Amino acid sequence: MFTNFFFTKYSEQGRKLPFVLSAVGLNHRQEYINRHSGLPVYQLIFTVKGKGIIELDDKQYVIKEGTGMLLFPNVGHKYYGVSKEWQVHFLLFSGYGTKDFFKNSGIEQSGIYYLNDIAKVEEYMNELFIIYNQNTSMEMYEFSGKLYNILLEFLKSTTIQSVNSLQKHTSKVHMVMDFINQHYMDPIVLSELAEKVNLSKEYLCQKFKKVNGFSIFDYITDVRLANAKTILIQDRNEKIKNISRMCGYDDVSYFGMVFKKKVGMTPAKFRELH
């Protein structure tokens, strides 16, 4: 049976290679992730369907089709989907040559990037699955070579934007996103959001849409539903009408309608299936 992800098993010798593949996934339906201390390996994640949010250094960044993230080892992060379905390709990797590879390319911290062409990257990732299924004694070397090719394609076909750069150019939008994430359970009024960042309502909406690719109102809904999903799964005894209020919806019927429209099923059905 075909699997869309796998984890590698390396000998002690294999772990001494300059580029060491730990895991790979294609068209993975990304779940909610919250790692306070990060992972001990690098992560390269490409969005191929839908959109998600990544939180780095208490700032939120949108990861939609054509964009992705490079996460350095041991850097705390959180990411989650804010669309009906968020699918990604991912790579986990390490190796003594990796740090110098990125440093010599001018990349010294986690960042968000725009991918100009994913076709060649996907081709190499599919070849990783072929190697995995052959299960040969030399696969560690083949993995290492293909990983290096992927990283080269990553540099050739992407434009890196550092977290600091994104923060500098879109700080007011991020302030609004921060506020929504902290106050999604309360009534949120557009005029008050605009006042907080000293912009007109019209300009804030325009700037928000330009930065993220979707509206403020879509983001408020996505954040509320993301939190509702978490509560539905983590606290199975909590009544749905209470979850509705906890996520900013006083009218449980309206909450159910919005949830079904966005998620494709009722809150009760979502809880049942998860």
Q: Are the CB atoms for 70 and 7 separated by under 8 Å?
A: no
Task: List domains and CATH numbers for the chain.
Answer: 5-165 (2.60.120.280), 170-273 (1.10.10.60)
Predicted local confidence at residue 62, as pLDDT? 81
Predicted local confidence at residue 11, as pLDDT? 65
Low-confidence residues of the chain, pLDDT below 50?
1-2, 162, 165-166, 168-169
Task: Identify the CA nearest to 70 among candidates 51, 94, 91.
Answer: 91
Sign of the torsion formed by the C-alpha atoms of 30, 185, 77 and 113: positive
Task: Express as a percent the part of the chain with pLDDT over 70.
Answer: 92
Task: Identify the CA nearest to 157 among candidates 104, 103, 120.
Answer: 120
Predicted local confidence at residue 168, as pLDDT? 46
What phi, psi does 178 have (nearest 5°)? -60, -45
Residue 133 structure tokens: 């299924």
Predicted local confidence at residue 161, as pLDDT? 53
Is residue 133 classed exposed, middle or buried when 0-12, 13-18 and 19+ CB atoms within 10 A define those classes?
Answer: exposed
Whole-angstrom distance, CA of residue 172 vs CA of residue 162: 17
Q: Which amino acid is at 43?
A: Q
pLDDT in tens, 197-223: 888 899 899 888 877 778 899 889 989
Q: Are the CB atoms for 144 and 19 separated by under 8 Å?
A: yes
Task: Identify the CA nearest to 94 among candidates 45, 46, 23.
Answer: 23
**Global pTM value:** 0.63
Q: Are the CB atoms for 193 and 234 separated by under 8 Å?
A: no
Q: Are the CB atoms for 165 and 190 separated by under 8 Å?
A: no
Predicted local confidence at residue 194, as pLDDT? 92
Cβ count near 263 (within 10 Å): 17
> What average pLDDT is seen over the chain?
87
